[in-house]
Copies of this chain bind each other. A is one copy, B any other.
Amino acid sequence: MSTRPLRADAARNRARVLAAAQEAFAAEGLAVPLDDIARRAGVGAGTVYRHFPTKEALFEAVILDRLTRFVEHARSLATAGDAGAAFFDFLRLLITGAQSSKDLADALAGTGLAAPGLITSAKQALYEAGQTLLERAQQAGGVRDDVDIAAVMALFTGATTALLQRPDDPALHQMVFAVLHDGLQPPVAD
C-alpha cells in the first residue's frame, strides 16, 4: 500500500528516451535505428513504443520539443526595446540552434519525411512568432518592407542547412550572416 513510484518511473523513462532520441537524431538524422535510441536511453525497444507509438512520432516529439523552445524564446523577444535588434537576435538564435542538430535543420527545411501535423502546427507557431518580430522590425525601419516571414525563414533555414556541413568555420558563418543581415536592410533613401 506504499506509494511506489510507478508514474515517476514512467515519466523518467519517457524523458530518458526523449533525451536519447534528441542526441541520436541530432547526430545521425532520422536514419538512426530505433534500437540504438533504446540502448542509449537504457531501456528496451518496447519501452520506447510504450511512450511513442511510432518512430516517426518519436521524431515528431523531439522536434516539437525543440520548436517549442524556439517559439518561447521568440515570444519573449517580442517585447524587447529595439525591434530590429530583437528580430536579428531571433534569426541568429535560429542559426545557432539548428546548427547543432541535423534533425531540426531537416524539420525546418522540410527535408526528410513529410512533416506530421503537430510539427506543422509548431512550425506555424514559430512562423507566427517570427512574423510578429518581423513586423515590429519593419515598422521600426530595421528591415526592408518587401519580405515576408516565409522568405526570411527560407533564407535562414537554408543557410543553416548549408552551414551544418561546416560547423567549424566561424568566418564562413560570419560572412553568411552578414550577407543576410545586409540584404534585409531597408533600401537606402537617396
Contact = CB atoms under 8 A, between A and B. Distances in A.
Interface in A138-174: 144, 146-148, 150-151, 153-155, 157-166, 169, 172
A175 interface: yes
Identical copies of this chain, number: 4
Nearest to A29: B111
Contact of A188 (B109, B160, B166, B188): B188
Contacts of A102: 111
A46 to B, nearest CB: 12
Interface residues on A, range: 35 or more
Interface stretch (A53-61, A82-90, A127-135, A177-185): A177-185
Contacts of A110: 162, 164-165
Contacts of A150: 166, 169, 172
Contacts of A154: 159, 162-163, 166, 172, 176
Given A111-B111, A188-B188, A179 B162 contact: no
A21 to B, nearest CB: 20
Contacts of A184: 179, 183
B178 A146 contact: yes
A179 B183 contact: yes
A162 B155 contact: yes
